[in-house]
Structure 1
Amino acid sequence: MRQSPVLYRAGTIISQDGTEPEAFAVAADRISATGAFRELSDRYPDAETVDLGDAVVVPGFNDAHAHFADTVQSRLDLDVSPASVIGVEGLLEAVRERAASRRGWVLAGNYDDSVTGRVDRAMLDAAAPATPVIVRHVSAHWAVLNSRALEELGVGEDAPDIAGGSYGRDQHGRLDGRVYERALLGRYVSRPGDALAPLPTPEPADVMAEYARVAAEWNAVGITSTCDAFVGPQQLEIHSMARAQGGRGIRVAMLLAAERYEEYRALGLGTDFGDEWLRVAGVKAFVDGAIGGRTCRVSEPFAGTHDHGMLISTQEELDSLVGRVHADGNRLAVHANGDVAIRMLLQAYETAARTVQTGVRHRIEHCSIVDAEIITRIAALGLTVVPFSAYARFYGGRLEEWYGSDRVERLFAHRAFLDAGVPVAASTDHPASPIEPLGAIQSMVTRRGVDGVRVGGTQAISVEEAIGVYTIGSATATGEEGRKGRLAPGYLADFVALGADPRRADPEGISEIPVLATFTGGRLVHGGV
């Protein structure tokens, strides 16, 4: 017997299809109808009704560039964020305590040098001389290691820099413990026996317990879907284990690490492989470094310096990878922050588009520093951009210190992208910035940091547009705009009930709006009704 749908009604329903229906019907895991409540009640007389009262219902939030599996693993690490430790001494004391209380590596994360202060190899050696220690920057693009950790990874004093990565040295030419870009990133997705030794990983049972907790936390802030933006063998195993155990809280798309592309390709893991809970969205590669880590490749040096940042890939390497993946019909999602890096990537995309025609819409991850010429080329190629949604709020005035007042007006250019008709998706890059979608929406709308400084105000967008970025835009980024991002017939029944309408709230208070309930596939995964 066919099961009757469930009718949902609420004070306001923002469907993202141009209408605001009074109610909608959910059958199995999809929206089956929308419209006036009386009409739907007549149509489905046996249907159960869930009345969400005065709540404001929106499609489920979708973070199109975050690091779910790495977030899970990092929960087992030592948190040295500014919220957890005070200054360098606080960080070193936390390392000392962890080294004394546990065996094995001290893996520490969320270090922000611009707040905490500079940490180096000698400091970590003094804190934990016999224990390998790695302290990862919040950007995840560089880290500081002590001598034991360098030894464990096979990095000696005579270690040469590698293509796209480097080892920091002091004024005497000695390793200072800093490891940059590919010299670190490659270890996130390597295996034992590879040229770059992998970092240690936790036990699977511990990871699975954290996986469920992280999914519940993301549901609690309204997230029903995410795209895990750098998936190597470790991350793929984590997601596959969770899928096998039947997790139904959050839908995960994956960007597979380009470093292992041939291996994945041989296994048949290409774009759209999988199901609506776990699937491949594309292939992730890097051109340059980070915005917050101040390693992105820029034409104009960072403010007050002669430093133009780093490249991870050469133009030749980029052309080869883009051409191969594009010809295979797979989506590319390539990290490019600085204007130099973005132009390199556009050249590779343009060359590939002239060579082979495919129906796949590629992505630019972050696409942070742009100008009119760059945006015109992006629009002509039909690309999706995935700029940082929360960075204006997270970093605030530090962005102006690093990039200057003129350049921040071209940073995370949501306004300019939307005006040019470029699809824009949401990205917190969590754990690089806070995961909460409402905080990120506030950031895009106000462009005001938590420090009170407004940065790049000309790139502010409306609340309606910001909700679109977190719903339709993110669905477009993973090729799922036909089933996600709207509350319309045929779409997945992923939705969130909010305690107030973000469109009518004080823009500076959007982040404080409560998430009353979250539904994934029509199933309540957070809150109550």
Structure 2
Amino acid sequence: MSTIVITGGKVITMDPANPAAEAVAVRDGRVLAVGREPEVLAAAGPGAEVVLAGGRSVLPGFVDPHNHLLSTAESLVAVDARYPGVGSARDLVARIAAEAARTPAGQWIRAYGMDDAKFPGGRPTRRQLDEATTDHPVIVYHVSGHQAVVNSAALAWRGIGEDVADPAGGAFVRDEGGRLTGMVLDSAMELLLPVAVDIGCHGPNFHVDLPREQLRSWLEMSAEPYLKAGVTTVCDPQVSRRELEIYRSAWDAGTLPVRTVVMPLSHMLDELTSIGLAGPFGDDRLRFGAMKFYCDGTLLGGTAMFDEPYGDDFTGTLYHRPEELVDLVRRAASAGWQVGVHTQGDRAMGYTLDALKAAVAVSGDDARPRIEHCGHPTPAQVREFASLGVIPVNQPNFLYDSGTDFVRRLGDRRAHRLQPMREELDAGLRPVLSSDSFVSSLRPMETVSNAVRRRTREGGPIGAEQAVTLEEALRAHTVDAAYALRMEDVIGSLAPGKLADVVVLDADVRSLPADELSGVDAWLTMLGGRIAYRSGRAASEV
């Protein structure tokens, strides 16, 4: 592999021993030298390819520690139901009808990203979707990924009638007359979809049964948006047999688009324990990481569990009884797993803390327990995080996308404490930034911008006192995110010997106003010492 020198940019290394530099040299997939331009050129030797960065920011490739890679790939080829493109039930019906007109009768129509909290009149119903088509089963995923709305054909296809019982950890929404509205919550999704795996009550089941070749093709097509955004490593936080088979197939073919860490869902605990498997395990391209658990539901869908009800008297839902969660998490930690628990509301946070205390007690000195989303910890709970070494995995894009809805539903007191990243940093924690794509944008600079700005889509403040600096946000999306994956020794910073994952952004981000950060993408992305994306050229042409 040839030697490449990137110079003429403003290098932000994320290495505390050498925080800034003029140039970076890479060779054989590793960082060769970082420092002043003459020294780096000398280390590279004659014949090195030189890339002139033109004053742009140069950083380690972004690490996204909570990104549903395969589901994102699926969403990129499905109907886009995201706001503001779809701002009402009428818009949704029109978009589904247009898709139905070009889809053979009987085939499923899938849409992603519906945010019905912004719809005049509230949630759409199956009767409204029936106006779009009765010849196709239709499923529209809520923006949270924890809910969906379907039409009557979808219910009929699965043989679901008015007498269906709500499963543990989920529900079929009914109207005042007790009739199914078509809205399904959390684990009830499993009864509706043609799913590839049975995950029971261990989480929302969006593991749709689709042809392996189709899924693999969509995964490979996703390389372009990820690399264009500067993402070089992701951690998929909900992996079943379906995802693992596709990732392994792409890994074997050399077409896995980015470095991929997988978090197997907790329904696999006994099976993996029986064969003695625990993460971290794998290579630097595909590996097992932590194990994923669910405590409560979603803020966006009204199923997060708080001490005080919110919104339309939402009380929240739990996937496991508190004592069951403690037992599951303890058993995983005893088997050698790092653990990550999806948790949003403050009451659920208390249950998760009980589980993490049990895990840390059997995990040794470097447990690194994760709390996925970490929506509303109380100040006392944040102090407990510090004693346990908790890693809060934040997604401030939610604050931008839905902050106004959070204020309306939760009230000022609770809404402005959501994802209290400043408080977590001040407590000595290492909170990380992530996208939760497919739920929100996969572009890291949008996430960074929203962590810095703490503003809603409508322009209002959302916990402004919890804002972080640009440097803190970049660190949380690179080296600290690598720490959450137990990979900080090989990725996340630019230092000699580390894997040569480098992004040259298309601006000098330190010189930009905060309001312009979200528009920044990659000008060049290097993965393992190879230029995998260059602005103006498709990834397949590089």
| Residue 40 (structure 1) aligns with | 40
Matches of 2:2 and 2:48 in 1, distance apart? 8
1:393 partnered with 2:400: yes
| Residue 67 (structure 1) aligns with | 68
Shift of residue 309, structure 1, vs aligned partner: 1.7
| Residue 22 (structure 2) aligns with | 22
1:219 partnered with 2:227: yes
In 2, are the aligned partners of 1:388 and 1:429 still within 8 Å (CA)?
Answer: yes
| Residue 473 (structure 1) aligns with | 480
Matches for 1:134-213 after TM superposition, within 5 Å: 134-184=139-189, 191=196, 200-213=208-221
In 1, are the aligned partners of 2:9 and 2:23 still within 8 Å (CA)?
Answer: no
In 2, are the aligned partners of 1:189 and 1:234 still within 8 Å (CA)?
Answer: no
What CA deviation, in whole Å up to 9, does each residue of 1:59-104 have, x standing for no partner? Answer: 1111111111111122333222234445212212332343343232
Matches of 2:268 and 2:191 in 1, distance apart? 10
Shift of residue 243, structure 1, vs aligned partner: 1.2
| Residue 420 (structure 1) aligns with | 427
| Residue 482 (structure 1) aligns with | 489
What CA deviation, in whole Å up to 9, does each residue of 1:230-277 have, x standing for no partner? Answer: 111222222122212202641111111112222344455421222111
Shift of residue 356, structure 1, vs aligned partner: 5.2
What CA deviation, in whole Å up to 9, does each residue of 1:153-194 have, x standing for no partner? Answer: 343322222211111111122222221112226878954688
Instruction: Indicate how the Cα distance of structure 1 residues 503 and 40 shifts in structure 2: closer, same or farther if over 3 A, else same.
Output: closer
Shift of residue 358, structure 1, vs aligned partner: 6.0
Shift of residue 288, structure 1, vs aligned partner: 0.7
State the SS of the aligned residue for 1:335: strand
Instruction: Indicate how the Cα distance of structure 1 residues 194 and 299 shifts in structure 2: closer, same or farther if over 3 A, else same.
Output: closer
Moved more, 375-384 or 258-267: 258-267
Matched residue count: 526
Q: Aligned partner of 1:16: which letter?
A: M
State the SS of the aligned residue for 1:92: helix
| Residue 374 (structure 1) aligns with | 381
Moved more, 143-152 or 518-527: 143-152
Shift of residue 278, structure 1, vs aligned partner: 1.1
The answer for unaligned runs of 5 or more in structure 2 is 537-542
Shift of residue 479, structure 1, vs aligned partner: 0.8
Matches of 2:306 and 2:206 in 1, distance apart? 30
What CA deviation, in whole Å up to 9, does each residue of 1:5-52 have, x standing for no partner? Answer: 433223310001132122222121111222222223334433504232
Which residue of 351, 365, 369 maps to 2:358? 351
Shift of residue 319, structure 1, vs aligned partner: 1.0
In 2, are the aligned partners of 1:189 and 1:257 still within 8 Å (CA)?
Answer: no
Q: Aligned partner of 2:288: which letter?
A: V
Matches of 2:287 and 2:198 in 1, distance apart? 28
Q: Aligned partner of 2:381: which letter?
A: I
Matches of 1:354 and 1:194 in 2, distance apart? 28
Shift of residue 443, structure 1, vs aligned partner: 0.6
Matches of 1:231 and 1:478 in 2, distance apart? 15
In 2, are the aligned partners of 1:92 and 1:123 still within 8 Å (CA)?
Answer: yes
Matches for 1:126-525 after TM superposition, within 5 Å: 126-184=131-189, 191=196, 200-247=208-255, 249-266=257-274, 269-303=277-311, 305-355=312-362, 357=364, 359-525=366-532
What CA deviation, in whole Å up to 9, does each residue of 1:365-403 have, x standing for no partner? Answer: 011101211011111011211011322222232221122
Matches of 1:61 and 1:188 in 2, distance apart? 33
Matches of 2:286 and 2:9 in 1, distance apart? 33
Matches of 1:391 and 1:527 in 2, distance apart? 29
Q: Aligned partner of 2:313: which letter?
A: H
In 2, are the aligned partners of 1:216 and 1:525 still within 8 Å (CA)?
Answer: no
Q: Aligned partner of 1:106: which letter?
A: I
In 2, are the aligned partners of 1:138 and 1:432 still within 8 Å (CA)?
Answer: yes
CA RMSD of aligned residues (A): 2.4
Q: Percent identity?
A: 32
Moved more, 321-330 or 54-63: 54-63
Instruction: Indicate how the Cα distance of structure 1 residues 75 and 198 shifts in structure 2: closer, same or farther if over 3 A, else same.
Output: closer
In 2, are the aligned partners of 1:8 and 1:25 still within 8 Å (CA)?
Answer: yes
Moved more, 463-472 or 275-284: 275-284
Instruction: Indicate how the Cα distance of structure 1 residues 376 and 5 shifts in structure 2: closer, same or farther if over 3 A, else same.
Output: same
What CA deviation, in whole Å up to 9, does each residue of 1:491-519 have, x standing for no partner? Answer: 11111112333223111111123421111
The answer for unaligned runs of 5 or more in structure 1 is none
Instruction: Indicate how the Cα distance of structure 1 residues 148 and 195 shifts in structure 2: closer, same or farther if over 3 A, else same.
Output: farther
Q: Aligned partner of 1:39: which letter?
A: E
In 2, are the aligned partners of 1:13 and 1:58 still within 8 Å (CA)?
Answer: yes
In 1, are the aligned partners of 2:86 and 2:114 still within 8 Å (CA)?
Answer: no
In 2, are the aligned partners of 1:224 and 1:251 still within 8 Å (CA)?
Answer: yes
What CA deviation, in whole Å up to 9, does each residue of 1:91-140 have, x standing for no partner? Answer: 12332343343232222221110223421122223433343221210111
Which residue of 126, 150, 156 maps to 1:121? 126
Instruction: Indicate how the Cα distance of structure 1 residues 352 and 43 shifts in structure 2: closer, same or farther if over 3 A, else same.
Output: closer
Q: Aligned partner of 2:41: which letter?
A: S
Instruction: Indicate how the Cα distance of structure 1 residues 351 and 25 shifts in structure 2: closer, same or farther if over 3 A, else same.
Output: same
Q: Aligned partner of 1:40: which letter?
A: V
Matches of 1:367 and 1:502 in 2, distance apart? 28
Q: Aligned partner of 1:10: which letter?
A: G
Moved more, 103-112 or 62-71: 103-112
Which residue of 13, 26, 36 maps to 2:11? 13
Matches of 1:219 and 1:356 in 2, distance apart? 35
Matches of 2:503 and 2:13 in 1, distance apart? 11
In 2, are the aligned partners of 1:396 and 1:452 still within 8 Å (CA)?
Answer: no
Q: Aligned partner of 2:13: which letter?
A: S
Matches of 1:158 and 1:302 in 2, distance apart? 29
Instruction: Indicate how the Cα distance of structure 1 residues 153 and 357 shifts in structure 2: closer, same or farther if over 3 A, else same.
Output: farther
In 2, are the aligned partners of 1:248 and 1:520 still within 8 Å (CA)?
Answer: no
In 1, are the aligned partners of 2:368 and 2:389 still within 8 Å (CA)?
Answer: yes
In 1, are the aligned partners of 2:421 and 2:467 still within 8 Å (CA)?
Answer: yes
Which residue of 105, 108, 112 maps to 2:115? 112
In 2, are the aligned partners of 1:189 and 1:198 still within 8 Å (CA)?
Answer: no
Matches of 1:174 and 1:365 in 2, distance apart? 34
